Amino acid sequence: MTYKPKNILITGSSSGIGASLAVFYAAPGVFLALTGRHAERLSNIAMICRDKGAIVEEAVLDVTDCQKMKQWIEKLDHNHPLDLVIANAGISGGTGGCGTGEPEDQVRQIFDINLGGILNTVHAILPLMQARKKGQIALMASLASFSGWPGAPSYSASKGAVRLYGEALRSRLRTENIKVNVICPGFIQTPMTAVNDYAMPFMMEADQAADFIARGLEKNKGRIAFPWQTYFIAGFIGILPYWISSGLLKKLPEKPPSSSINS
């Protein structure tokens, strides 16, 4: 990699893509700030990163706690000015087995974590990056953000909000030398997809996804969407007239209810 960020924060780094990104970036001379809700898994990832030579600070935090996130990020940035912040934490859930649709508590939890957690991360670091006129922020969306999936209404809606927010933020911050990138993965082999009981075409390993994301961030791509096959399908459905796309989307399987798996 030509561009090598030295001080990196990754939320939701106790498993899945977040964990793979942490291991990918771990190297001598790199400071990694890792947070997640699962202490043992987070500790294991931190240990792997230290074995690769990185300096690691880990914290078991809930990204929905705005004040604690702000305090932690400000403290980190004071000691290690952050070059790259990856707002990755998220959960998944759908209507499968719910009968009458998504329970309200699941809907609110998904929005609180997937969207609220992103905002709590972004708005804690953004003023600090603006003050020094440099930095990079990556937001984890999904290919599900391109249309409203009836089997996962709140998940697709929360990721849609993240994608649109990130793309708008990128344009707004361009003149301030702050890079903003939106990540839109398809099916990745993680604890989040392990509960799905339906076919997931073009699935990628989390380590492959981390490599693809890191290369996209290095090139400062506005939208890092993959794999290309699923991206093409999602994008095509997204531009179809609603009366056509809604009929196609109804045929998709229902996603299992949330099990509060934090990526």
Which positions are catalytic? 155
Q: In the 8-state DSSP scheme, what is residue 218?
A: H
Those residues with Cβ within 8 angstroms of residue 177's Cβ, 6 or more apart along the chain or in another chain: 133, 134
Of residues 163, 149, 150, 177, the one with CA closest to residue 234: 149
What phi and psi values does residue 237 have, to the nearest 5 degrees?
-60, -35
Structural contact between residues 261 and 92, judged by C-beta atoms closer than 8 angstroms: yes
Of residues 16, 1, 14, 7, the one with CA closest to residue 142: 16
Helix (H, G, I), strand (E, B) or coil at 166: helix
Show the 3-state SS of 47-108. Answer: HHHHHCCCEEEEEECCCCCHHHHHHHHHHHHHHCCCCEEEECCCCCCCCCCCCCCCCHHHHH
End-to-end CA separation in angstroms for the chain: 25
Those residues with Cβ within 8 angstroms of residue 20's Cβ, 6 or more apart along the chain or in another chain: 206, 207, 209, 210
Distance CA 88, CA 18 (A): 6
